Amino acid sequence: MSDSPGDPRVLFVMNVVLSAAFAAFVVWGLSFVDLVPFTLQGVVGLALVLSLVTYLVVVR
């Protein structure tokens, strides 16, 4: 059981949720110091980038 890679669907959803939460936190922090506005597009864009980078790192 410990050698099981896990269900890829669960890993994908976990990656998306955690990336979105981290992206919201980063964009909120940057908006707090007036560097970027806190927008849904900014959070979604950063979440997509983080998800893609995480996927590429895990697949390699």
Whether 12 is in a domain gets the answer yes
What's the structural domain count of the chain?
1
Whether 54 is in a domain gets the answer yes
Whether 38 is in a domain gets the answer yes
- What is the rounded CA–CA span in Å between residue 41 and residue 60? 29
Whether 1 is in a domain gets the answer no
Q: How many helices (H) and strands (E) does the chain have?
A: 2, 0
> Domain limits at 26?
8-59
**Tens of pLDDT, residue by residue, the chain (60 residues):** 566 677 888 889 999 999 999 999 999 999 999 999 999 999 999 999 999 999 899 877
Q: Kindly report whether the global pTM for this prediction surpasses the value 0.85.
A: no
